[in-house]
Amino acid sequence: MKFISVDQSFASCAITYWEDNKALKFTVAKTSSSWVNNPNKKDVNYFPIITQQIDFVVNNIYNAFIEHNAEYCVVESPAQSGFGTAVASLKTLHRAIKEKFKLEGFEDKFFDITPTALKAYARDYLPEDMQTDGVLKSGKTKKIKMEKKHMHLACKLAAPDGWLDNNTVSNGGGDIADSFWLGHMFYHKMLKGV
């Protein structure tokens, strides 16, 4: 069974390609506004308006799904508690991806995973001594807040050898790690109910 897992954003959209439980490869598509001060990075696609960025990212994800002959596409749902322009843009991007799959007849092949569930799942792959951060007043162990650096480290421990070589958290490795975890969780936790 083939599927893709996607950590979608405008700056760095990471797609991991899977066959069963095996992560085969990843790609990263980067976009930015052409109105930035110095739009000359060769690996970035520049667009004058955000709707063009949305179209590019949506089509990139959909084309990956088709070209991989994937049965499923799993993405991270946007955080529902956030506010502001950036959060609104990510919610719009998520909706556009979902609508594209619906329009093309693949609505039942599109799945979301919440950021909270994803982080809790990935936390279990860290060494036990790194999963906690003290004790709460109730006496229960306080779990660490999974930040990009934790997701990246957990991915280094669980992913195929060399998966994150040359990809640090600051140069897109965090997005690649999130994309990996989306697929890993989908395969191990969600497919049983599909």
| pLDDT score of 166 | 86
Digit-coded pLDDT (tens) for 47-71: 999 999 999 999 999 999 999 999 9
Digit-coded pLDDT (tens) for 17-33: 999 999 999 999 998 88
| pLDDT score of 79 | 77
Complete domains list, the chain, with CATH? 2-120+168-193 (3.30.420.10)
> DSSP alpha helices (H): ranges in the chain?
50-67, 85-103, 115-123, 148-158, 173-185
| pLDDT score of 161 | 86
Digit-coded pLDDT (tens) for 158-181: 998 889 888 888 888 899 999 999
